[in-house]
Structure 1
Amino acid sequence: MKANWRERIAIEPAIHHGEPCIKGTRVPVSVIVASIADGDTPRQIIDAWPQLTGDDIKAALKFAAEAVNNADFVPLPRTNGR
């Protein structure tokens, strides 16, 4: 996907309480990413939400990757010698 994910992801308070969604749809990025994590293929996702494209799915994954990359994580304390 050559286009920037910002062209495909919208964060609007009136849609899904501001949860990131694919522009022009009510499909949350989190649903797409979770579907991929559960083993669904892009074709299965598009079959379930025909308003999506392959580029929408790629944009959702790029958005999620950037969100994780920019998140601050606090390591958990080690327990039992681990």
Structure 2
Amino acid sequence: METHLHRITINPLISHGKPTIRNKRYPVEAILEYLAGGDTVEDLLAEFEDLEREDILACLQYALLSVRAKNLPTTMA
């Protein structure tokens, strides 16, 4: 699997140290909320012109790894 995680940064001076995209003020959490709310990758790229497709993929990959690290189930029973 290709990794895009290098695009996720944690800087205490940006967004209170929450994970963001490339030291920009786009919290990973916010991008994931847009996606969960029904926005598509294309919607986000049109809305936030300085983001790239790989940034969105990095957010998804970060979320997946976070879930795995917490040993939460990835499917509903």
Alignment TM-score, normalising by the size of structure 2 = 0.84
Q: Which runs of 5+ in 2 are unaligned?
A: 73-77
Q: Which runs of 5+ in 1 are unaligned?
A: 74-82
Q: Cα deviation per residue 1:14-53 (whole Å; 9 max; x = unaligned)?
A: 0000110001411010111111111101111112211111
- Provide the identity percentage: 35
Runs of 4+ more than 6 Å apart? none
Q: 5 Å matches for 1:1-82?
A: 2=2, 4-71=3-70
Larger Rg belongs to: 1
Residues in 2 aligned to 1:70 and 1:5: alpha-carbon distance in whole angstroms: 17
User: RMSD between aligned alpha carbons?
Assistant: 1.6
Number of corresponding residues: 72
On the 8 A contact 2:10/2:23 being kept in 1, the answer is: no
For the residue of structure 2 that corresponds to 1:34, the secondary structure is: helix
TM-score when scaled to structure 1?
A: 0.79
Contact 1:25 1:51 in 2 (8 A): no
Name the one with the larger helix percent.
Answer: 2
